[in-house]
């Protein structure tokens, strides 16, 4: 019998055999593995009632009621006459006019729009900031808006929109700083806030609207919240987590104090020094 060349049957048992390449672990790909069931996670945030928000709202509505009443009785809006922003009166020493315009309004539509905005923004921010922190945020932002109006325009003005723009800025920074906690919800809120601010500034180009006041209020809210506003981290174990504020009360007080000082120095420079930006 002839044999194939190069192959000796007597040596077959001594031949080395090259193993087949490894195919790895064999898995059954025919049946899909179901995803794990969703886990409900509860995050505990501070629970605070919006006492300050609604107190400010009530005070502002009462002030407007007095405006209407004095106009009916005396044929002049006494509240606006002694409280609205009038540059010449401020230069003569009536410094309360840098604060009182926050609580005065020119029409029912004017106060209605601003108080609706306070009703929407206030309770949310007060819950996360705290009662006194929210009060300071509102007042310092409002003051900053009046100061900007005082130094940049001669037109008399009044309205809570200075403080409302501060709340809008605070809401935007809060959403930005807490994206890791609120996720997609924060990003949607941030886009919405930017759109609202841009639209309002465009509307503010119309005659009779004080955009400088809005700008000052917005800056106040942005700065205070960026440096002193709450930044939450999640602690605890699933499914119950606790939201803890990384920022301290001292940080908020410092941020608010510096912002207040900045606006006060701007006003003082115009009042006491031979400086004019108008």
Q: Are strands 240-245 and 232-237 parallel, antiparallel or unpaired?
A: antiparallel
pTM of the model: 0.84
Q: What is the DSSP letter of 275?
A: -
Looking at residue 17, its pLDDT comes to 44
| Of 137, 127, 81, the residue nearest 104 (C-alpha) | 81
Looking at residue 121, its pLDDT comes to 97
Homologous superfamily of the 44-272 domain (CATH): Rhomboid-like (1.20.1540.10)
Looking at residue 208, its pLDDT comes to 86
Looking at residue 34, its pLDDT comes to 67
Residues 6+ apart with CB under 8 A from 165: 141, 145, 197, 200, 214, 215, 217, 218, 221
Which are the catalytic amino acids? 161, 214
**Exposed e or buried b per residue across 150-166, where buried means at least 16 C-beta atoms within 10 angstroms of its C-beta:** bbbbebbbbbbbbbbbb
Looking at residue 86, its pLDDT comes to 98
d(CA 28, CA 183): 37
Q: Which long-range contacts (CB under 8 A, 24 or more apart) does 34-40 make?
A: 39/238, 39/239, 40/239
Looking at residue 204, its pLDDT comes to 85
- What string of pLDDT tens digits covers the 278 residues of the chain? 444 444 344 444 444 444 555 555 555 555 666 666 555 667 778 889 999 999 999 999 999 999 999 999 999 999 999 999 999 999 999 999 999 999 999 999 999 999 999 999 999 999 999 999 999 999 999 999 999 999 999 999 999 999 999 999 999 999 999 999 988 889 999 999 999 999 988 988 888 899 999 999 999 999 999 999 999 998 877 777 888 999 999 999 999 999 999 999 999 999 999 788 87
Looking at residue 224, its pLDDT comes to 99
């Amino acid at each position: 019998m002839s044999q194939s060349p190069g192959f000796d049957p007597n040596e077959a048992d001594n031949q080395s055999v090259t193993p087949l390449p490894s195919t790895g672990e064999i898995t059954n790909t025919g049946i899909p593995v179901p995803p794990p069931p969703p886990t409900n996670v509860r995050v505990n945030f501070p629970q605070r009632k919006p006492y300050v928000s609604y107190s400010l709202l009530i005070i502002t509505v009462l002030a407007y009621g007095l405006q209407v009443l004095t106009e009916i009785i005396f044929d002049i809006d006494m509240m606006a006459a002694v409280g609205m922003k009038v540059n010449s009166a401020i230069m003569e020493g009536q410094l309360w006019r840098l604060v009182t315009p926050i609580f005065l309004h020119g029409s029912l539509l004017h106060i209605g729009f601003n108080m609706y905005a306070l009703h929407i923004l206030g309770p949310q921010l007060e819950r996360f900031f705290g009662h006194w922190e929210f009060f300071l945020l509102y007042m310092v932002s409002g003051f900053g808006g009046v100061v900007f109006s005082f130094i940049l325009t001669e037109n008399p003005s009044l309205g809570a929109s200075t403080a409302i723009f501060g709340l809008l800025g605070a809401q935007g920074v809060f959403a930005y700083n807490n994206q890791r906690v609120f996720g997609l919800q924060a990003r949607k809120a941030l886009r919405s806030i930017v759109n609202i601010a841009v639209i309002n500034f465009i509307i503010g180009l119309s005659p009779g609207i004080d955009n400088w006041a809005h700008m000052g209020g917005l800056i106040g809210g942005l700065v205070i919240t960026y440096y002193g506003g709450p930044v939450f981290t999640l602690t605890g174990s699933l499914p119950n987590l606790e939201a803890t504020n990384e920022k301290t009360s001292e940080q908020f007080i410092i941020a608010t104090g510096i912002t207040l000082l900045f606006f006060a120095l701007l006003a003082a420079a115009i009042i006491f020094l031979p400086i004019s930006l108008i």
